[in-house]
Amino acid sequence: LFDTENEKNFGNLKKIKTETLPQFDLLIAGFPCQTFSVMGRKAGFDDSRGQIIFHLARILKDTQPKCFILENVRGLVTHDKGKTLKIILHELENAGFDVVYKVLTSLEYGVPQMRQRVYFIGINKSLNKNIEFFNWPRPVEKPSLKNYLIDNNKADNQRLEILQYYLNNPTNKGKFTVSDLKKMEGKILDTRMSDLRIYEERCPTLRSQRDGVLYVRDGEIYQLTGYEALLLQGFPKEYADKVKESVSDRHLLMQAGNAMTVNVINALGNSLKELFKEG
């Protein structure tokens, strides 16, 4: 999406030597969510991926930027009865930052996607800023879903056969036929596990391994593309256009599912700017 020529890649986060990093004011990061997700095994710190937060805390402690934005799945808040959250907050505060956190949904910040994530905002203690004055961004009006479902990827016969399989399983048997679904103009059809879920004017959370999202347009069933997923994550259309033909659809779906919603990060960034403007 961006011109990264001459930008240095510092490699494996766990192996970064902080003395090699340039000075920076803001760190934005999402640490692996699989181990904390309500959908995952909830292994948490027992899984090596769950250790990334400690390396982020190390980088923050060594480099002392002015502020940070961190993101994770909402399940982190209740993981291990809140013990995991307490450990993370302790690590971040011990790194030299005052921290607040809140679960936000992308649905309230300018994209029709039901993506709930917990966001951590940290302010360097040396700045003597009262983090209680940080104002979480206010919700904005949700745009129409039809503005995002603009690609032309009709579900092929194989995909429709998979859909039929879902309709015939014990959970859904007798509820709908494919013909019934084709009459549900504008609806999102989400196949997960053995369940079929139907949404109106909103898309379920995009995940890196999800490719089962369908929708109905003009009496036909379409499969959500990686291009549309990028739009639903708030990436500007001109950027999504750049990669549509150069990156495989499956990889775009994975990248979109792993990304943070642009609108939310932008709103949080603006709230930080307002806090620092207050002097």
Q: CA 45 to CA 213: how far, in whole Å?
A: 31
The full DSSP string for 109-156 is: TTSSEE-EEEEEEEEEGGG---GGG--PPPP-PPPPGGGT-----B--
Q: Is-contact 100 137, C-beta < 8 A?
A: no
Selecting among 30, 32, 33, 107, the annotated active-site residue is: 33
203 given a catalytic annotation? no
Q: CA 17 to CA 2: how far, in whole Å?
A: 25
The H or E element spanning position 187 is strand 187-192
* Cβ-proximal residues to 144 (8 Å cutoff; 6+ apart), any chain: 112, 201
The H or E element spanning position 26 is strand 26-30
229's tokens: 């997923």
Q: CA 73 to CA 53: how far, in whole Å?
A: 13
181's tokens: 């679904």
C-alpha torsion sign, points 93, 97, 98, 102: negative
Enumerate the active-site residues: 33
